[in-house]
Amino acid sequence: MDSKRGDEATSKTSDDGDIASVMGFSGFGKKARTFDLDAIFEQTRRTAIERSQRVIEERKKEIEMEEEGESSKSVKPSVQSQREKAASSRLQKSDSSSDSGSDSDSDSELIGPPVPPQHAAQQGDDDDDDEHVGPPLPPGYTGSTAHSDDDDDEEGEAQDDDDDNPVKKIPDTHEITLQHGTKTVSALGLDPSGARLVSGGYDYDVRFWDFAGMDQALQAFRSLQPCECHQIKALQYSITGDVMLVVSGNAQAKVLDRDGFSVMECVKGDQYIVDMANTKGHTAMLNCGCWHPKIKEEFMTCSNDGTVRTWDLNSEKKHKSVFKPRSFQGKKVIPTCCTYSRDGKLIAAGCQDGTIQIWDRNLSVHTRFHCRQAHTPGSDTSCLSFSYDGTMLASRGGDDTLKMWDIRNFRKPVNGVSGLTNYFSMTDCCFSPDDKLLVTGTSVKKDEGNGKLVFFDRISFQRVYEIDVTNASVVRCLWHPKLNQIMVGTGNGLVKVYYDPVKSHRGAKLCVVKSKRKEKHAEALTQDYIITPHALPMFREARQRSTRKQLEKDRLDPKKSHKPEPPVSGPGRGGRVAAHGGTLSSFIVKNIALDKTDDSNPREAILRHAKEASENPYWIAPAYTETQPEPVFAEESEDEEPDQEPEWKKRKI
């Protein structure tokens, strides 16, 4: 039995050795050890007592050796005294712990010889100066640390000043100019990511600008007229950026996708119904529109029919809800601008009678806040904008004022400034991303100065900064929070983008670094060329070596290089009416209008060709030369009375 057990043990050890060589560690098949904590603590206590007794015995021996004069085995008195104190304290504590039977007190004490005083002092210094890394500085040297601390303090103060001063955060060091057209840019829109910009104007065009795809030529990649011959009033991307709202001068708002294709068109209401709440849509020109900040399928429009309507993207046949602004007498007033609050729970509208009316989004009957004399009656309030914290409302009036309102106390404005000329019904105002500045534009007449972008402090409402944009009015302004760039639409067809290479991100910085692409001339065969390598020399055509040389020869030929005149057709484009149509009737009318001959006297017109016909007969006279009788006329004598009938009339043929 013993031999078998020995064989099994040897086989197991050999197997464990093989596994250990493969896995890299050993100990397979062993049971886990169990520990008795009480026994361990008791053993530790006994070891401490024995060690302390040993130290006391060594001390006694050292004292005896000093008395005998053996200096080689003496110890320093300081260390000796420390050891005596430590040993006595440990002995007393160990005795007290053994008497009381408590193990926790003995465990908390240090085991071993005491710490030297120099090391203890060094630890205390390290605890005091945790920030300094490395060897200690020599005594009396404090220059570098004091200097570095002062520099850090100065840099921290400068950084705090930059953080506290919102003017230094304005990105106006660089700018690019996008040429939209020649007429007023009345609408601007940026998607939430800031990658794509859209601009609309009085020339009915909507242009798409892609910052990542543009180069230094700064050309729009798409231009279209979504609403035919209607001016664009507002453009805005939804919160997801996949669709865009287009508000124009007609009664039907449109929703386009990112590429400009139509997704939805609002229905037009019945203009013969008196109560506008009973119609399915607007019946008059639109003034403004915007998307809901939280719900991606909902948007809002206001119109000259005196209503503010909300719409659902999935149901285009009818509006979602109707809000009807009313004057103090209960009469209908026209809303000129509208907006949602930042949380989407409130709807605000500025009206032509100078009032600002705010409704709860779910209650369309009565207003929640109503200010009767916000602006001058009869002036168009051009813009309403909520602050990012949702407590303040800024209004840009047609009476050349800019006012700040507190929603919690809506009776009178918190601040206001006048003298900001406004000639447009869509002049913008917006808050800075940090909510400390308020921005708006000013209008100017032609050749009477420059339009400016003016910045006001939100709290003090002082004019803290301004930018001279161009020699035309500043209509639209947009400060994107992610890009930290300011987009400005002007009255002369320009879109300016202001940015800072350090403070701004992406946007205009992507396209200014790209060089202009070289124009690629497409080289194509001028005519079909059949390659027949085995044809006889008399039937073989000359091979075209280069199309460029052929194109240069064709350029010298006046017939080939002449561009044909395009026909004038269609209703016109860009506000221009065509000279005439392409029909036959219009062509005849045009030629008749160009005929300047005067045929008022028909006899003179006929006799004008009598002499030439008699001298050079061509049609009638040659045909009757042989059969034409000779005319016989009687000569009138002087003696004949004038009343007497001539002789040739008396003859009968």
pLDDT exceeds cutoff 50 at 146? no
| Torsion angle, alpha carbons of 483, 486, 488, 494, to 10 | -60
How far apart are the C-alpha atoms of 281 and 321, rounded to whole Å?
10
Taken in order 251, 256, 261, 267, the sign of the CA dihedral is negative
Query: Angle, to 10 degrees, between the axis of helix 37-68 and the axis of helix 77-100?
Result: 140
List, for residues 460-505, the tens digit of each pLDDT value: 888 898 888 888 899 999 998 888 899 999 988 899 999 988 888 8
Chain centroid to Cα 457, Å, comes to: 23
pLDDT-derived band at 89 (thresholds 50, 70, 90) equals low
> Is residue 435 predicted with pLDDT exceeding 60?
yes
**Whole-number pLDDT of residue 25:** 57
pLDDT at 232 over 70: yes
**pLDDT tens, residue by residue, 106-124:** 444 445 555 555 444 444 4
Report how far residue 285's alpha carbon sits from residue 269's, in angstroms, rounded to the nearest whole number: 12
610-629 pLDDT per residue, tens: 888 888 888 877 888 788 77
pLDDT, average across residues 1-24: 54
3-state secondary structure of 236: strand
Round the CA-based radius of gyration of the chain to a whole number and report it: 50
Task: Write down the pLDDT at residue 516.
Answer: 75
Whether residue 3 is predicted with pLDDT greater than 90 in this model: the reply is no
**pLDDT value at 298 more than 80:** yes
Query: Do residues 316 and 278 touch, judged by C-beta distance below 8 A?
Result: no
What does the angle CA 20 – CA 23 – CA 27 come to, to the nearest 5 degrees?
Answer: 45
Which backbone phi and psi does 541 adopt, to 5 degrees? -90, 150
Instruction: Give pLDDT, residue 441.
Output: 92
3-state secondary structure of 301: strand
Q: Lowest mean pLDDT: which of 140-149, 308-317, 450-459, 626-635?
A: 140-149
- The average pLDDT across 622-645 equals 69
How far apart CA 477 and CA 342 sit, in angstroms, is 19
Pair of tokens at residue 369: 């806040």
For residue 99, what are its two tokens? Answer: 């008497």
Does this model's pTM top 0.85? no
pLDDT in the model for residue 255:
92
Dist. CA 648–CA 210, nearest whole Å: 98
CB 489 within 8 A of CB 502: no
CA dist 593 and 600 (Å) reads 16
Query: What burial class does residue 357 get, using C-beta atoms within 10 Å of its C-beta: 0-12 exposed, 13-18 middle, 19+ buried?
Result: buried
Q: In the chain, pLDDT over 90 holds for what percent of residues?
A: 16
Give the 3-state secondary structure percentages of the chain, helix then strand then coil, rounded to 5: 25, 25, 50
CA angle 207, 211, 215 (to 5 degrees): 95
370 C-beta neighbours (distance < 10 Å), count: 17
Between CA 284 and CA 306 the distance in angstroms is 9
Indicate the helix (H) or strand (E) that contains 548: helix 547-556
The mean pLDDT of 634-646, rounded to a whole number, is: 58
Closest of 87, 69, 71 to residue 79, by C-alpha: 87
For the record, the structure tokens of 261 come out as 């294709």
Q: What are 81's two structure tokens? A: 């005294």
- Over 50: is that where the pLDDT of 258 sits? yes
pLDDT at 129: 45
Rounded to the nearest angstrom, the gap between the alpha carbon of residue 262 and the centroid of all alpha carbons in its chain is: 21
What is the mean predicted confidence (pLDDT) over 406-430?
88
- 578's CB contacts (< 8 A; 6+ apart) are 568, 569, 570, 571, 572
- Which run of H or E residues covers position 558? none
How many whole angstroms separate alpha carbon 534 and alpha carbon 413?
93
- Residue 194, C-beta contacts closer than 8 angstroms, at least 6 positions apart: 211, 480, 482, 483, 485, 505, 506, 507
Chain-wide mean pLDDT for the chain?
77
> Whose CA is closest to 264, among 317, 309, 222, 213?
317
